[in-house]
Amino acid sequence: MNQPETEKSASELIDARIGELRDWRGEMLARLRALIHEADPEVVEEWKWRGVPVWSHDGIICTGETYEQVVKMTFAKGAALPDPAGLFNASLEGNTRRAIDLREGDRIDTEALKALIRAAAALNAAKKKGRSK
């Protein structure tokens, strides 16, 4: 018997999203998810805004949105993160967010991406620590 969406955990909902895509986007989202967990084993998976996978650690690190032509990895505080490898290629005009649009066949610079994820988690932790004083 299928559980209603409201009774499923965020991880189960993300599993379902990956499974329902059945193409390169599902594979890409699964790969990004694995890299996020490798970079930050304490990351928490969430499901927000009517169907967006979200990864958090002391605040939102990033989201994983799927569109017809791209899988978009949006970093909530991306504008404040160092990006020496130049991974950010979307949402560059804003003051806060930055995104990485990945298309079919794109290669991921795994070490640079994991460094970006760790930097986002560290920024969240620093902001949280600053608020608790």
- Spans of all domains in the chain: 5-131
Segment 1-20, tens digit of pLDDT? 565 556 899 999 999 999 99
Assign domain 5-131 to a CATH class: alpha beta
Q: Which two tokens stand for residue 75?
A: 């970093």
Neighbours of 89 (CB within 10 A): 14
By the 8 A CB rule, do 64 and 107 touch? no
Measured between alpha carbons, how far is 34 from 105 in angstroms, rounded to an integer? 18
Segment 50-63, tens digit of pLDDT? 899 999 999 999 99
